[in-house]
Structure 1
Amino acid sequence: MLKKLTLAVCAASTLAFSGLAVSEPFKSPIGEFDVSMTATLASDYIWRGQSQTAGHGAIQGSLDVAHESGLYAGIWASNVDDLAFPGNKSGADIEVDYYIGYGHSFTDDISADISLAKYTYPEANGWNGYEVIPTISAYGFTLGYKYGVETGVHPSYTWVAYEYELPYEIGISASYGLTDQKAGGKDYNDWSVGLSKTFVGLGFSLTYTDTNISGETCEATYGDSDYCDSNVTLAVSKSF
């Protein structure tokens, strides 16, 4: 049960390798908890197909706590680049996300989850936001929806993903997503395919990502078309 909850926590986090965290269960007067931590080094921080670090490396970490009832909470953080935001020069250097949620497994192959995530940028006023995130997973497929809780503006993200374990415990994954910007923003699609493997206590992943954002649109939004180029990201993760 708690193992499945740990996987549900991963759906709420943007950290690619949080699923490799080793949980440490402990009992309490109100039931059993799992606590897990993960640290990741990545060649880039990709969010919905776009670089959040201007194509540079990222240091990321998470702390998750899950209760046997299905409730969980966590925090995730990463460095970001201030140019990776519309309008440029937001002053953001760090992203810190907080989330709470509930996950339930109907069978070994079918589960559902709902969470509330808060995205914060401590050094950039006005960049905080919330999303409500329901997901349902069945036989390796996941269908998810992120609804932005904004006053008068409700941007959304819908995605479908698939994960499968190949021989030699090599994981393969693929995803396709649609960003609906609302408020006159440019909608776009992103997609990815990746491989992952745990070796000598470390998690390794190699992921290709791309979008259908044109170079002209990216240049007008970010001042640099490189933010929306296709990307191959290498990440190494360690659980504690």
Structure 2
Amino acid sequence: MTTRIAAAATLALGLSFTAGTAGAFEIESAGLTVGITPTVSSDYLFRGVSQTRNRPAVQGTIDIQHTTGLYVGAFASNVAFLGTNARQEIDALAGWRTTFAGVSLDLGAIAYNYPGYQHTAPGTFDLQYYELAVKAAYEIPSLPVPVKILGAFNWSPNYQLESGNGYYVEGGVEIGLPYDFTLAARGGYQWIQNNTRWGSPDFGNWNVTLSYKFSDFVLTAGYFDTSLSRSECFGSQKICDARGMVYLSRTF
């Protein structure tokens, strides 16, 4: 079992590197920019693995950033993990965003929480954990269309299910197309120290998406997959299979 970013989160909760997200509002007297993004999705994927056992998700993100680049935020979604009573996930985010030599940087931390989840039975372990994260984005200048290169590195000293050090790296590209379309591709790899406790080998994941922006809405459809076979997937579940997804988000 794993947690988090919905495909929606991959694009939406990745959270913009700069304040002033389309549709966000400003509190000028406090130097704050606030963005609220509800999302409905055909599934909730985190690093290619379904968090809802292949069922739809309703999610929300809030991002509050100061003019200094400091920010806090939160993400909420329904979840469904086999053999647990976890039904919701509420994450807390905090960090600092800046730009250096044309590169947008995001240095932050994410705490993954599952209110109401109990693991008092023998042989069960805690779902909650935290990660430190570094993200970078660079838009290549002087091209006919906008092209952005993305990279990220996440580390947890005690990953989900108390499985020890967890390391995740990801790279990607976003290409702005005519008529407010965006083509994006991402690939990442997850390492876990204690694979037996975690429930799968280390694995890769990748996706290709096409998004269309209209007004303050973004409609996205994509293909998502992992390197895990059915027999390697958390007790032979179907949550690691390749799939198509669609989701709709709006920023207020």
Give me the TM-score of the superposition, normalised by structure 1.
Answer: 0.85
The answer for the alignment partner of 1:26 in structure 2 is 27
Task: Render the CA deviation track for 1:155-201: whole Å, top value 9, x for unaligned.
Answer: 11111011110111101110010000111351010000001111254
Mapped contact 2:163–2:195 kept (Cα < 8 A): no
Unpaired stretches in structure 2, ≥5 consecutive residues: 119-125, 140-147
How far apart are 1:114 and its partner, in Å?
0.6
Residue aligning to 1:90: 84
How many residues are treated as equivalent by the alignment?
218
Choose 134-143 or 42-51, whichever is displaced more: 134-143
- Structure 1 residue 62: deviation in Å? 1.0
SS in 2 for 1:14: helix
* Residue 154 in structure 1 maps to residue 162 in structure 2: no
Which string of whole-angstrom CA distances, capped at 9 and with x for unpartnered residues, describes residues 106-147 of structure 1?
Answer: 25x421111010000112232110000012221211111110
Matches within 5 A, 1:33-182: 33-83=32-82, 89-107=83-101, 109-125=102-118, 126-139=126-139, 140-150=148-158, 153-182=164-193
Residue 231 of structure 2 aligns to a residue whose secondary structure is: helix
Amino acid at match of 1:32: G
Most deviating of 147-156 and 36-45: 147-156
Q: Which residue of 1 aligns with 2:209?
A: 194
User: In 2, are the aligned partners of 1:75 and 1:98 still within 8 Å (CA)?
Assistant: yes
Unaligned runs of 5+ in 1: 1-9, 84-88
Checking the alignment, whether the CA contact within 8 Å between 1:132 and 1:149 is kept in structure 2 is no
1:16 is displaced (CA, Å) by: 3.1
Runs of at least 4 residues of structure 1 off by over 4 A?
18-21
* One-letter identity of the residue aligned with 1:138: Y
Indicate conservation of the 8 Å contact 1:17/1:203, yes or no. Answer: no
Residue range with higher mean Cα deviation, 17-26 or 50-59: 17-26
Contact 2:182 2:212 in 1 (8 A): yes
Q: CA deviation at 1:14?
A: 3.0
Give the alignment's Cα RMSD to 1 decimal: 2.0
Measured in 1, the distance between the counterparts of 2:235 and 2:11 equals 24
Aligned equivalents of 1:192, 1:68: Cα separation in 2: 33
Residue identity (%): 28
The question of whether the paired residues in 1 share the 8 Å contact of 2:163 and 2:192 is answered with no
Q: Secondary structure of the residue that 1:227 maps to in structure 2?
A: coil
Matched-pair contact (CA < 8 Å) for 2:163–2:193: no
**Taking structure 1 as reference, are residues 14 and 65 closer, same or farther at Cα in structure 2, changes over 3 Å only?**
same
The answer to whether the aligner puts 1:184 opposite 2:195 as a matched pair is yes
Residue by residue over 1:16-49, the C-alpha shift from the partner in whole angstroms, topping out at 9 and shown as x without a partner, is 3355652111123xx5110110100000001111
